[in-house]
Amino acid sequence: MASYVPSTKAERQTMLESLGLVSTAELYHDVPPAARVETLDLPEGKSELEVVDAITALAGKNQVFHSVFRGAGAYKHYIPAVVKAITSREEFVTAYTPYQAEISQGVLQSIFEYQTQICELTGMDVSNASVYDGATAAAEAVFMCQDRRRTGVLAAATANPQVLDVMRTYCESRGVPFTLLPAKDYAVDPDALAEQLKSGPACLFLQNPNYYGVLEDVQPAVDAAHAAGAKVILSVNPISLGLLKTPGEYGADIAVGEGQPLGLPMSFGGPYLGFMACKQPLMRKLPGRIVGQTTDSRGNRCFVLTLQAREQHIRREKASSNICSNEALCAMTASVYLAAMGPGGLRQAAESSASHAHYLAGQLSELGFGLKTSKPFFHEFLTDCPVNPELLCRKLEAKGILPGLPLESGILWCCTELNRKPQIDGLTAAIEEVLQDEAAV
Amino acid sequence: MKLLFERSRPGRGMEYLPACNTPPAEFAPGQLRNAPPRLPELSEVDLDRHYTELGKQTHGVNDGFYPLGSCTMKYNPRVNEALAALPGFSELHPLQPAETVQGALEVLYRTEKLLCEITGMTGMTMQPAAGAHGEYTGLLLIRRYHQSRGDMARTKIIVPDSAHGTNPASAAMAGFTVVSVPSNAQGGVDLDALREAVGPDTAGLMLTNPNTLGLFDPNILEITRIVHEAGGLCYYDGANLNAVMGHARPGNMGFDCVHVNLHKTFSTPHGGGGPGSGPVGCKAFLEQFLPEPRVRCVDGEYRFFTPKHSLGRVRSFYGNFAVVVRALAYILSLGRGGIPEAAENAVLNANYLMNRLAGHYDMACGHSSCMHEFVIDLSRLKAETGVTAMDVAKRLLDFGIHPPTMYFPLIVHEALMVEPTETESPETLDKAAELFLQIWQEAHDDPELLHTAPHTTPIGRPDEVAAARKPVVRYSFES
């Protein structure tokens, strides 16, 4: 058993005596008997070696796929070794929120650098220090768009369904009308958009590339929303921005997204980070921590948490959000990743991901997996499946390949720079085997 | 020191990726960005040294005593980092079929059971990513409960004036109106004010116990009874669970739902402001409303399921899974004996340090004992010497101590909230006590030394007013 308590039994006794006490039980004199618990029904404590064995055994019950063609909200990208090495430094790992700027310049400067990189990536003016994930970023962005006259959000049904679920939860509790904007051919239906904008929503929420990998016709949607007096929240894949037009260039008011692809392992869904950036006029509505530059008493440039009048510890129930802890170490990871990759490396990751996906789409179509839509896509795409998709996926999993996600009686495929040609050819060969087996049955 | 962008030189950089050997994908020009993002171009050595320098300007738990009240800055065991990084966890796609992630589901399931036992709850969700996120989720449970009974009049959440700022902020996000109740002379909930505040519009009460003054409210059973009799539910803010785990349980105190901070009580590191994890537990009658998905075990097989009247999702996937792995390792390490042992040593350390300081410093509400933390009231020192809580905090920086939480709780004017945690030795506490007493003396002999502190840190006091008045929140490439 390791409780990590340094003081010995004798030392504890001396400390108790200094307080005029005999036993630690006396420290709990204010706890009424009915609130107490005598002994917890927990296992006996274990040595470190036993714990390592127990947890390693649990990890061993999971199947790790080296060939992954599944995205749908979590993406396996190459993470340079330097990223993990830097972000494993004890100071970065264990520090608390940087309330004391004089001994927290490392964390504060890294967040300032992260904010700058997110602004560069998205084409926005201001970024916060991160929120929990892409879904909560989307939900928080809706609240930024509220004013006295307009409250509702019009959310594209082509966005990630889990993101839409979280937005729905957040909107319901605050009484914000949430309307789904229907899709047509796996993209936003422009006629439905024109119609729904007439109800005067506060904002339009759009994902690009969308859940099906499709590149939405963003510009007309942004223009239509603005013409109707609504703000635009654009959710984006950060890797795609190495190549694709930015939310800023489209004229969006707020950019959000899931930051996991920027150097974070998939880790069965978390920790991830939600990035949020906006145009200048919305700055004071951003939730969460923001780091700003200032000077210290000695005249040096330094960094502090700023614009805190938005936050819960100052404003309490009038705060722009309740968020306190965010995902600072994940934001630092994203920042180190972006700095390591540089503009060229990021572009290469984006181009390779797209190239591999388009190559796979071509190979699959020869095997009878037709694209569900002819619209352009980035690194994900939805196909038909000549056999039962669930069955095909199970058979591929048995061969050590995690295929795309069964969806809409087809499969949603994803490629990144990791799915190089030999791996793709391995996948298509495995699919051919399955199809032949099925034909033989 | 220089920013990443100021170290950048055009053309520098590493090749981390191979050339692509499939044909390029074609995009319409209108779909492409006009110019590349101005990310820094650095050699790997430049990059690595940059962060080594930033690391030196960051105070971690291993840099010294970190008595930051309410934050439970205990030592973060190294083994938990290694276990969370096992490829069998870190390389799992969250949408893998359940048969291929049985170990991960077992992590979620077992941690839920262990935390339920510690808190006295019956069901729990790991989805909330932080304490405040947990508060929000717990309040949504309360909201759903009243809605399910058709009781739409319950729109108010009662929050003591000593509460964390997240409590009222979470209540507002969950669509409630906040009713603040005052504290009594001892810093506990004023029972008469509570009786006055409850009624047919009461949805619930949010309470931290021990509270933010480090006091275990001796009236806790009466408090939860008053709220229940008025038809409301009781929410336990688990920020201070470290004081009582293994000794008292929120469930036994009469609470209906709780959140715990894995990054406080269960030793997962705080990362400079996250990732945290704020699992929410509840009693059986609320389980049907928990977020989806939950994990259950049928005949030794783990499966996800959606509770019957689930409030929906509060985050994608299953929360900060890798943080949960660390917490599980920690609970297994401590076990039945170690959990209460950690708590009682946290309380012992706090009382020991408080006692060492009590001859000079005033304790808030005149307390002579505390739970895991205590609040120093520096009003008298300020009146006598002009030295403020801020000055004392900044002077502590000169001695390598992370200052206590300043100016909180709000009901104490010149507050310093001290939480030593159980992972500090008597020598560390003795040394800290000596420094506090030295600073007391300095305040009387040379107050200017404190007004101008810190003197030995990488930077002096920052101009926060200027930062907020003319916000510079990103690097400008044009300047």
Quick: pLDDT tens for B346-394. Answer: 999 999 999 999 999 999 988 889 999 999 999 999 999 999 999 999 9
Indicate the average pLDDT of chain A: 96
pLDDT of A263-296, one tens digit each?
999 999 999 999 999 999 999 999 999 999 999 9
Residues of chain B positioned with their CB less than 8 A from the CB of A31: 216, 218, 244, 247-248
CB atoms B88 and A160 under 8 Å: no
Q: Which of B292, B311, B334 is the last residue of a domain?
A: B334
Residue with tokens 């006259």: A149
- Across the interface, of A27, A86, A328, the residue whose CB is closest to B344 is A27
pLDDT of A34-50, one tens digit each?
999 999 999 999 999 99
Q: Which of B334, B367, B392 is the last residue of a domain?
A: B334
pLDDT band at A244 (very low <50, low <70, confident <90, very high): very high
Q: Exposed, middle or buried, A121 (CB in 10 Å: 0-12/13-18/19+)?
A: buried
Nearest CA in chain A to B422: A5
pLDDT of B54-89, one tens digit each?
999 999 999 999 999 999 999 999 999 999 999 999
Predicted local distance difference test score (pLDDT) of residue A242: 98
For chain B positions 6-65, those within 8 Å of chain A (CB to CB) are 12-18, 20-25, 27-28, 30-34, 36-42, 44, 47-48, 50-63
**Interchain CB contact of B334 with A (< 8 Å):** yes
Do B383 and B294 lie in a common domain? Answer: no
Tell me which residue range forms the domain holding B455: 337-464
Examine the pLDDT at B26 and tell me if it is beyond 90. yes
Do B316 and B345 lie in a common domain? Answer: no
Do B453 and B374 lie in a common domain? Answer: yes
pLDDT band at A309 (very low <50, low <70, confident <90, very high): confident
Do B372 and B258 lie in a common domain? Answer: no
Do B147 and B188 lie in a common domain? Answer: yes
CB atoms A63 and B75 under 8 Å: no
Examine the pLDDT at B108 and tell me if it is beyond 90. yes
Do B240 and B168 lie in a common domain? Answer: yes
For residues B312-336, one letter each, b for 16 or more C-beta atoms within 10 angstroms of the residue's C-beta and e for the rest, the string is: bbbbbbbbbbbbbbbbbbbbbbbbb
CA distance B252 to B274: 30
CB atoms A357 and B25 under 8 Å: yes
Do B165 and B190 lie in a common domain? Answer: yes
Indicate the average pLDDT of chain B: 97
- Provide DSSP, B180-223: EE-B-TTSSB-HHHHHHH-STTEEEEEEESS-TTS---TTHHHH
Residue B372 in domain: yes
**Interchain CB contact of B92 with A (< 8 Å):** yes
Residue A389 Cα, gap to closest chain B Cα (Å): 13
Do B111 and B155 lie in a common domain? Answer: yes
Predicted local distance difference test score (pLDDT) of residue A2: 63
pLDDT of B391-416, one tens digit each?
999 999 999 999 999 999 988 999 99
Examine the pLDDT at A1 and tell me if it is beyond 60. no
Predicted local distance difference test score (pLDDT) of residue A3: 75
B355 contacts: CB under 8 Å, gap ≥ 6: A18, A19
CB B404 within 8 A of CB B435: no
CA distance B126 to B132: 13
Do B413 and B369 lie in a common domain? Answer: yes
B253 contacts: CB under 8 Å, gap ≥ 6: A35, B209, B220, B221, B224, B236
CB B236 within 8 A of CB B224: no
pLDDT band at B478 (very low <50, low <70, confident <90, very high): confident
Examine the pLDDT at B479 and tell me if it is beyond 70. no
- Integer-rounded Cα Rg, in Å, for chain B is 25
Predicted local distance difference test score (pLDDT) of residue B46: 96
Distances (CA, A) of A32 to B138, B222, B228, B443: 25, 11, 18, 41
CA distance A418 to A68: 9
- Across the interface, of A59, A65, A162, the residue whose CB is closest to B313 is A162
pLDDT of A103-150, one tens digit each?
999 999 999 999 999 999 999 999 999 999 999 999 999 999 999 899
Residues of chain B positioned with their CB less than 8 A from the CB of A421: 21-22
Predicted local distance difference test score (pLDDT) of residue B179: 97
Examine the pLDDT at A441 and tell me if it is beyond 90. no
Residue with tokens 């050339």: B19
Instruction: Please state which of the ranges A69-73, A156-160, B161-165 shows the lowest mean pLDDT.
Output: B161-165
**Interchain CB contact of A81 with B (< 8 Å):** no
CA distance B106 to B93: 16
pLDDT band at A251 (very low <50, low <70, confident <90, very high): very high
Residue B477 in domain: no
Residue A177 Cα, gap to closest chain B Cα (Å): 13
CB contacts < 8 A (A, B): 685
Residues of chain B positioned with their CB less than 8 A from the CB of A417: 17, 20
Residue B19 in domain: no
Mean pLDDT, residues A406-422 taken together: 97
Examine the pLDDT at B191 and tell me if it is beyond 70. yes
Do B423 and B299 lie in a common domain? Answer: no
Do B308 and B391 lie in a common domain? Answer: no
**Domains along chain A with CATH numbers:** 67-77+343-440 (3.90.1150.10), 81-337 (3.40.640.10)
Residue A384 Cα, gap to closest chain B Cα (Å): 20
Residue B382 in domain: yes
> What share of chain A in percent tops pLDDT 70?
100
For residues B399-431, one letter each, b for 16 or more C-beta atoms within 10 angstroms of the residue's C-beta and e for the rest, the string is: bebbbbbbbbbebbebbbbbbbbbbbebebbeb
Examine the pLDDT at B2 and tell me if it is beyond 60. yes
**Interchain CB contact of A209 with B (< 8 Å):** no
CB atoms A166 and B313 under 8 Å: yes
Residue B32 in domain: no
Residue B7 in domain: no
- Across the interface, of B41, B55, B130, the residue whose CB is closest to A92 is B55
CA distance A54 to A50: 6
Structure tokens of A264?
Answer: 């974070």
Coil vs helix vs strand at B294: strand
CB atoms B100 and A324 under 8 Å: no
pTM over 0.95: yes
Examine the pLDDT at B440 and tell me if it is beyond 70. yes
Give me the CATH number covering residue B355.
3.90.1150.10
Examine the pLDDT at B204 and tell me if it is beyond 70. yes
Give me the CATH number covering residue B259.
3.40.640.10
> What share of chain B in percent tops pLDDT 70?
100
Residue B46 in domain: no
Instruction: Please state which of the ranges A311-320, B193-202, B287-296 shows the lowest mean pLDDT.
Output: A311-320
**Interchain CB contact of A425 with B (< 8 Å):** no
Number of domains in chain B: 2
- Across the interface, of A100, A300, A376, the residue whose CB is closest to B403 is A100
Predicted local distance difference test score (pLDDT) of residue A315: 84
CB atoms A348 and B17 under 8 Å: yes
Residue B63 in domain: no
CA distance B216 to B234: 16
Do B376 and B258 lie in a common domain? Answer: no
Residues of chain A positioned with their CB less than 8 A from the CB of B337: 1, 3, 44-45
Q: What sign has the CA pseudo-torsion B124, B127, B132, B137?
A: negative
**Interchain CB contact of A426 with B (< 8 Å):** no
Q: Which of B334, B368, B403 is the last residue of a domain?
A: B334
Longest dimension (CA), chain A: 84
Residue B113 Cα, gap to closest chain A Cα (Å): 9
CA distance A323 to B425: 33
- Across the interface, of B76, B273, B345, the residue whose CB is closest to A5 is B345
Structure tokens of B243?
Answer: 């004081």
Residues of chain B positioned with their CB less than 8 A from the CB of A43: 332, 335-336
